[in-house]
C-alpha cells in the first residue's frame, strides 16, 4: 500500500475542474493528486517548493564543505580584500 505524504488529497478530475479552488482550500498545505487512489503528484505552494529547493541546496553545500574539510589538503589563506 502506498503512503500518502499529505493531509489533503484530490483526484485528477478535481484538479482539472478548478485548480485555483483546490490550491486556495489547501491553505498552503501540500495536496496529493490521486489517480485511481494512487498518488501521482503532489501540489505544493510555490513558496514551499522554493524552501524545499533551498534546503536541498544547503544539504549539497554542507556535504561539499564536509568533504573539503576532510580531504587532507592544506587550507589556503585568503584575504577578502584581495578578491
pLDDT, tens digit (0-9, with 9 covering 90-100), for 28-47: 899 999 999 999 999 998 99
| Tally of structural domains, the chain | 1
Q: Is residue 66 part of a domain?
A: yes
Question: Cα separation of 48 and 16, whole Å?
Answer: 22
Cut 0.85: pTM above it: no
Domain of 49 in residue numbering reads as 8-71
Cell of 54: 533551498
User: Confidence class of residue 72 from pLDDT cuts 50, 70 and 90?
Assistant: confident
Looking up residue 54, the CATH number of its domain turns out to be 3.40.1620.10
Q: Is residue 83 part of a domain?
A: no
Question: What phi and psi, each to the nearest 5 degrees, are found at residue 9?
Answer: -145, 150
Amino acid at each position: 500500500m502506498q503512503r500518502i505524504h499529505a493531509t489533503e488529497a484530490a483526484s485528477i478530475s478535481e484538479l482539472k475542474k478548478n485548480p485555483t479552488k483546490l490550491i486556495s482550500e489547501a491553505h498552503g498545505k501540500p495536496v496529493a493528486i490521486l489517480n485511481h487512489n494512487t498518488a501521482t503528484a503532489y501540489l505544493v505552494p510555490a513558496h514551499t517548493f522554493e524552501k524545499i529547493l533551498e534546503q536541498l541546496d544547503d544539504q549539497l553545500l554542507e556535504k561539499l564543505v564536509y568533504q573539503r574539510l576532510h580531504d587532507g589538503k592544506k587550507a589556503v589563506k585568503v584575504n577578502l580584500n584581495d578578491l
